[in-house]
Amino acid sequence: MHPKYLSIQDFTYHLPDNRIAQHPLADRDASKLLVYKDGNIAEDIYRNIAAHIPAGSLLVFNNTKVVEARLKFKKPSGGSIEIFCLSPHSQYHDVTAAMLQKEKVWWNCLIGGASKWKPGMQLEKIISAPAGDIVLKAAIVERNPENFVVELSWQPGDLSFAEILHYTGEIPLPPYMKRGVEKEDEERYQTIYAEHHGSVAAPTAGLHFTDEIFASFTERNINTGFVTLHVGAGTFKPVKAAHMHEHAMHAEFIEVAAATIEQLSEYADNIICVGTTSLRTIESLYWAGVKIIQQPGITEDDIGINQWEVYDALNAMHIPVKDALNALLKWLRQNNLQKLVTQTQILIAPGYDFRMIKGLITNFHQPQSTLLLLVAAIIGDDWRGVYEYALENNFRFLSYGDGCLLFI
């Protein structure tokens, strides 16, 4: 069956509220780890994860950094307005470029209390920064069906937008964490290797990893690589359509260095992804290479991956992994690019034929979500047994919860 015709009702289970982790454990690597391989389930903790990964493997991590994307303003009359910065406006080539803007920036936002924000009204607040106070202003530029375009401007204008967010914003915890942001979240809702600002949600599979775990990888000849996918709020978007062809998958920015693509080509038969975002990124790299082979003159504007094309026109070509990645590397050289920067809308669901990976490390996901579809694409109907085991054996679910290592 084409994934377009999957019914989301077939990918549900009962998740009690008390199984959703509201806080992280005291130690990152103390979280429970479920290991699924060849239909069998074993249990351990993340501290020992290296023992379950074959020597010579390449683990791929997403090094995006969560930004303090919630901005709170007061109207002159005293009412509150909250701006949730979702993604940069299309005028910017990538997230990094938008984050480095000074003086002003346009951003796609959700607005809490939007009905109170009258046309033409400009909001203003004072930010305390190390170099002195900054005046931050906000004005609505466009009102769209699903979001708003907001111009944020600040004076003095010598700080970047990333710095402005850091000094005045709040980390956007997922909606199922029914509490306010606390001090521990500043550190714990961030991986230890987070580097590139741009996500509004953490790549949560990576939250369990510590320096000690990375040291154990070195001891066991397990290699590591890093890609960047800036996680958007769409990762929490529920599938409301009865069938998947009616669901619009969210698009997210990816950035991957040419050197990393070379590394992926070298380990093409032995890759395990840490997180669904890393997986979606490297599978998208394969399809970008296929697109180049199919359309040798393709431009940067057209190399992004759409929701369904990996099941249709691109899927018919049957290109080996190394050929696809080599085509991508050649295209980067021809265009004098050191890295690929594009967007992916890829939806991985049962029926998908994985090209790049042998396994996935991930947390436990919400019922009727695209992330659960991805898990089912890896281990088939056994996802039910895995989730039943986790529920019956006191595993903690979602962002601050426990996780699993799944082998195809």
**DSSP assignment, residue 302?**
G
Tens-place pLDDT, residues 135-145: 999 999 999 88
Predicted confidence at residue 115, as pLDDT, reads: 86
Q: What is the pLDDT of residues 100-119, one digit of tens each?
A: 999 999 999 999 988 889 88
The reported pLDDT for the residue numbered 158 is: 93
- Domain count for the chain, please give it: 2
Whether pLDDT at 239 is above 90: no
**Within this chain, do residues 216 and 334 fall inside the same structural domain, yes or no?**
yes
Query: Helix 276-294 crosses helix 370-379 at what angle (to 10 degrees)?
Result: 80
66 three-class SS: strand
Tell me what the mean pLDDT of segment 168-195 comes to: 94
In a domain, 175, yes or no: no
The reply to whether 183 falls in a domain is: no
Amino acid 356: pLDDT: 96
The answer on 245 and 224 residing in a single domain is yes
Higher pLDDT, 24 or 114: 24
**Span 355-401, pLDDT tens digits:** 999 999 999 999 999 999 999 999 999 999 999 999 999 999 999 99
DSSP string, 139-196: EEEEE-SS-EEEEEEEES--SBHHHHHHHH-B----TTS-S---HHHHHHTS-TT--E
- Average per-residue pLDDT for the chain: 95
pLDDT, position 236: 66
Same domain, 126 and 19: no
Choosing from 119, 135, 170, the residue where a domain stops is 170
pLDDT at 209 over 70: yes
Closest residue by Cα to residue 21 from 259, 207, 218 = 207
Whether residue 322 sits in one domain with residue 203? yes
The distance from CA 249 to its chain's CA centroid, rounded to whole angstroms, is 13
The pLDDT score that the predictor gives to residue 317 is 83
Q: Is residue 166 part of a domain?
A: yes
Q: What is the CATH number of the domain that holds 13?
A: 3.40.1780.10
Residue 235 pLDDT exceeds 90: no
Asked if residue 202 and residue 118 are part of one domain, the reply reads no
| Position 316 confidence tier, pLDDT thresholds 50, 70, 90 | confident
Does 246 lie in the same domain as 97?
A: no
Phi, psi of 352 (to 5 degrees): -75, 140
**Residue 30: per-residue pLDDT:** 98
pLDDT at 79: 84
Q: What is the pLDDT of residues 27-51, one digit of tens each?
A: 999 999 999 999 999 999 999 999 9
Q: What percent of the chain has pLDDT over 90?
A: 86
- The pLDDT of residue 269 is 86
For 266-303, how does the pLDDT look when each residue is reduced to its tens digit (9 = 90+)?
A: 999 899 999 999 999 999 999 999 999 999 999 998 99
92 found inside a domain: yes
Give the whole-angstrom CA distance, residue 237 versus residue 205.
Answer: 18
User: Does residue 349 form part of some domain?
Assistant: yes
Last residue of a domain, one of 170, 198, 229: 170
Q: Which residues of 170-186 are buried (b: 16+ CB within 10 A; e: fewer)?
A: bbbbbeebeeeeeeebe
pLDDT of residue 405: 98
pLDDT at 250: 84
Interacting residues of 260 by C-beta distance below 8 A, sequence separation 6+:
225, 226, 227
Reported as a single tens digit per residue, the pLDDT across 72-108 is 999 888 789 999 999 999 999 889 999 999 999 999 9
Question: At 322, which helix (H) or strand (E)?
Answer: helix 321-334
- Mark which of 121, 141, 170 sits at the end of a domain: 170
Same domain, 348 and 226: yes
* 29 found inside a domain: yes
Residues 348-353 have a mean pLDDT of 96
Residue 317 in domain: yes
- Name the residue range of residue 166's domain: 69-170
258 and 239 both lie in a single domain: yes
pLDDT at 101 (0 to 100) = 97
pLDDT value at position 178?
A: 87
